[in-house]
Structure 1
């Protein structure tokens, strides 16, 4: 289940789907995805599929994690500070933490955040800060950010997240309701102008308001 051969088969599938960033592929190959799932589902960890983690949330499909990370790395000039909306299991957080200088991650469901914190500790990742809060508002106290990734889909891009982008910062976010699209939004220098591009279709849990314990 956790053999290097099993992980390499997953990486090959991602490569076949068009993921080309070797750094991203290497990190996914080296990251033990099975630890982000309950034991009953861990045998499915290296399938290229989203899997339930409780509380109506999912562990994102490896392809979409790789794709969003690759887009962020490719579009941003520097990635000293990255904000993640929706810590969830901590899997996307872990991938980011191995590729950027500092990750700030916001989660609205306390039990999920607690589990993610323990996983990050076990993995020895010390460049991550977690916050229990409503992700719609980002984390303004730690901004501005060179990059922002959202692991939940709002119906429209929250203005609060756009406001927290640094000059030339990049936001990668799914947007929509029943039908969603993955978008990349780039701040044009230090202006209040934003350049938006649709990347592909997407299927994410909705971005909800408030917090839950």
Structure 2
């Protein structure tokens, strides 16, 4: 069992959407997936309640109970656990980093988002955890997207697949779906490429 946590100090970075889309796509690859919603706003739990399919599985867990929950999970019950987190403070995120095999950090191409990553980096590096930036809600042709990728690369690895700012990411979530279900468009390709990109780190 491997654990991916999706974290960001800023709200609105797209953590929940990324978690849901990766989890559903992984389930479609016949993997046993558990989503864990640690955000008090419960956006991921609400999305899951709208689903007709009850895969992936979901657990609503507070951050203070996260380490205990992970420790008590039967290791052969799930192939992959994906943890969605609230905008964090130092105190709340340390336990998330501690239990993670891989951390994904979604970042919108904006000065505010870039300024917010410094503190997150210090926490991750102090615990010697592998992390990957995912550029999210981007205009792929805009200069700021390229400059964001360049700036992030100074801190660590940047996923080669960029998530574009498309309405289908939003509309699919309303009905408990994701862009990976019933779609053959560019959004599906983005999620597939991100999943394949991170999968190589989970097979080591």
Q: Say which structure is richer in strand.
A: 1
TM-score with structure 1 setting the length: 0.36
More helix by share: 2
Q: Structure with the greater relative contact order (CA < 8 A, sep ≥ 6): 1 or 2?
A: 2
